[in-house]
Each structure stands twice: as C-alpha cells, then as structure tokens.
Amino acid sequence: MGGEDLQSGEYTVADTDLLEEHQELRHKLQMFMDQARENEQKMRRFHEQELSLISSRTLPDLIQSILYNYRRSFSLDAVTLMIYDPEYEIRRILEEEGVRMGDHPSLLFVTQREKLDSLFGEKLEPQLCTYQKDAHQFLFNQLSQGYMPLRSIALLPLIRYGELIGSFNLGSFSEERFSETSGTEFLQRLATIVAICIENAANNERLKRVGLTDPLTRINNRRFFDQRLSEEIGRSMRANEPISCLFIDIDHFKSINDENGHQQGDFVLREVARLIREQLRNCDVIARYGGEEFAVLLANTPEQVAWDVAERIRESIDQHAHHLPETSKSIQVTVSIGIATLSTLQGLEDVVKLGHMLVENADHALYDAKSDGRNCIKSFKFTTEQTGIDPNNSLHEISGPFTNES
C-alpha cells in the first residue's frame, strides 16, 4: 500500500484483510485476558474456600462450609453432600454437636455402599452430565417443585485409601455449566480436599470421644454424660423445653456374675446397653454411669413421655432371652428405673446445680424402685424448694414419686 493511498483514505483488499485480522486478534486477546482474569478469580475463591475447609475446627463447621459457602462463592444452583455412614456414626456425632438433621436437607446419608457405587461405576472419577430426574433426583431432593429444574450436574466421588466414602454433588440451571467436554482437574482437586477434610474432622471427633466412651459397652461413659448434662440443660432453658433423666440399674447383677462368671456378666451389660439404645432417639444421650447402672438424658421430653420410654426399655429387657455365649444357658434379666423431670426452666440460671439435682432425683427414684421390689419404674419431680420457683406456679406441683404397676 502506497503513501498516496493512505492519505486519500483508500484501502486495498489486502489492507482490509489485515485490518480485520488485526481486529480479530485483538478480540481473541481480549477474550483470553478476560478468561485469565476469570480463572484468577476462580482460583482465588477456590483457595479461600480451601482455607476455610482446612481451618474448620469441628465437623458441623466443615459441613456448613461445604454445603453453603461453596454454593455462594461459585454461584451454584444446588449443592448436596452424600456420606456413607453404615453405623450412623457421623449422624450421631453431628446430633451430639447440636446439629438438627431436618435443618439440612442437602446433607444426605446412605447405609448401603451400592447406592454410591451406582453413581460412578468402576471408574471413580467426576461425572459431568445432563441432569436426569429418574437417576439423580435422590441426590437433589431438597429442590421443591417450585424451583427451576436442574440442567447439568457434577458428581464428585469422595475417596479415601481407594474406598468411596461419599459424593459431593453440584447442580446448575445452565446446560453448559457442567458438560462432558468440561475439564475435571479442578473438580478432582476439590473432591480430594473435601474427602480429606471429612475424614480428618471425623477422626478428630473420634479421638475426642476415646476418653468419653465405655470400652465394654461401646456407649458413652459418665464423663461424657456429665459434660452433656450441662449443655442439654442450658439448651432446654433457652428453649423453655422440659428435660428428663432416667437412671437404669440391672437387678441382682452380682448374682449374674457370681453364678455365670464375669465374662457372661460383661455380655449381659453389652446386651442391656444395646436394648436401651434401641428404644432411644439418635439425639438422646445414653451412658454407662457406673457398674451395672446406666443413665439416659431425654431432651424436650415431658414426664409422661419419659415414662413411656422407660416402660419400653423395661419391657424390652424383661422380655428378652439372654442366650449366654458358648453355653446352652439362657437367663432372664430385669431392670429398675428412676425418672426425674424438669418441666419448666424459665427464670432458672444455675445450670450446674440443676444438673446435679436432676441426677440426684433420678437416683432417688431408682432407689425407691429397688426398694419396691425391682423390675418397676419410679418417678420423682423437683420440689419448689429445690428449684427456688414460686410455689404458686402449678407447672411445678409434685405428683410423685409413683410406681409403674407392671
């Protein structure tokens, strides 16, 4: 192109092609720069979330970070976490930490590994695909009918030591968000970090409970019960909910040991602990309080309901045939149960004192049940002098102790 052509403003075909190519290159460069900035922002958010996961001090904090922080930070339309929990261990830990499962519909549990295996097959790799209601609805069932349907999803396998321990599931209303052609390196790293953090948090909780578990019966010990007692009473005071305590003692346990040996006595203790636990909610606290005595804490439970629970426990143990291992012998076992209930906690402040009184009154009721022939239930309510509550308050009138005529 000559100088005259430039001055006159005339361009040749070659000049036009060069100009268009230049503009296209500038456009592509701008796209690359925008993509680089977007990737940089994503990596910064990812590192922030990674730090949040690693710094989570408790399992509930970790679940909060996984389910809610990631959804907000990465503008996801749905996030769920499914955990393989065959022994209800993770759920029990969360409930003991005050987590209400009903408040977290995005947190899912399975007791059969086959359901997880069906998501990934033999290749334990992230699955990016179109959302299919029949195949994937159980992973995203927290989305009500009023929501826009998901279009694409990413299912991330959570793996530790070659074993599938869960699935981290991401959903989008956009068909392009998670496609089969999308890269999975970032998602694989995310899945690895989530899996490691879940395992570490669970292990930390297990370590905390080593000194709080009775090694024989595998239920909580007295130390754990005493810790939870103050926590549960404090929670009941804030919510103004009743709280009940059961003291359960195996009748004539010394005779069981003397006649059958201590190993058989240990077997009976484990069986009784199991039978008690089967009658309780996951949120209830059970502990071996000492020797052949067990304690149960029932949050948000009035006296009549506590009485019903105690009767179910008494009846299940009374009707159970204890087949002693390595023998052809079966023995009958009964228990005596004492109940104490705090019905209204408004206006009360001394959590420790209330805890001591609740336990003492349940123990007194147990003593009365023992004195009244065993294999029965006694209930004891707080007196107005014990709690310092206005005696004109009818909610605290005494109607016990009284027995269950079995």
Q: Kind and range of the H or E element at 321? A: strand 321-323
Tokens of 30: 């701008």
Ramachandran class of 252: left when φ > 0, alpha when ψ lies in -120 to 50, beta otherwise: left
Cα separation of 106 and 82, whole Å?
Answer: 8
| Mean pLDDT for back-to-back runs of 10 residues, the chain (406 residues) | 50 71 79 74 71 81 87 86 91 84 90 88 87 88 68 93 92 88 79 91 83 89 91 86 95 94 94 95 90 95 95 96 89 96 73 90 95 92 50 32 34
Per-residue DSSP letter, 68 = I
CATH number of this structure's domain 18-208: 3.30.450.40
CA max distance for the chain:
121
State how far Cα 255 lies from the chain centre: 40
State how far Cα 384 lies from the chain centre: 37
Burial status of residue 92 (CB atoms within 10 A of its CB: 0-12, 13-18, 19 or more): middle
Cα separation of 246 and 253, whole Å?
Answer: 19
- For residue 254, count other CB atoms closer than 10 A to its CB: 11
Tokens of 77: 């339309």
User: DSSP strand E in 74-215: where?
Assistant: 78-84, 107-110, 127-130, 152-160, 163-172
- Domain boundaries of the chain, sorted by first residue: 18-208, 220-396
Residues 6+ apart with CB under 8 A from 83: 90, 107, 108, 109, 110, 158, 165, 166, 198
Residues 6+ apart with CB under 8 A from 293: 247, 248, 249, 250, 366
Q: Domain 220-396, what architecture? A: 2-Layer Sandwich (3.30)
- For residue 360, count other CB atoms closer than 10 A to its CB: 15
Instruction: Report if pTM > 0.75.
Output: no
Residues 6+ apart with CB under 8 A from 165: 83, 84, 158, 159, 195, 198, 199
For residue 314, give the nearest of 381, 370, 255, 250 by alpha carbon.
250
For residue 307, give the nearest of 277, 287, 279, 273 by alpha carbon.
279
Q: What confidence score (pLDDT) does residue 97 get?
A: 81
- Phi, psi dihedrals of residue 195, rounded to the nearest 5°: -60, -45
Buried/exposed code over 19-39 (b: 16+ C-beta within 10 A; e: otherwise):
eeeeeeeeeeeeeeeeeeeee
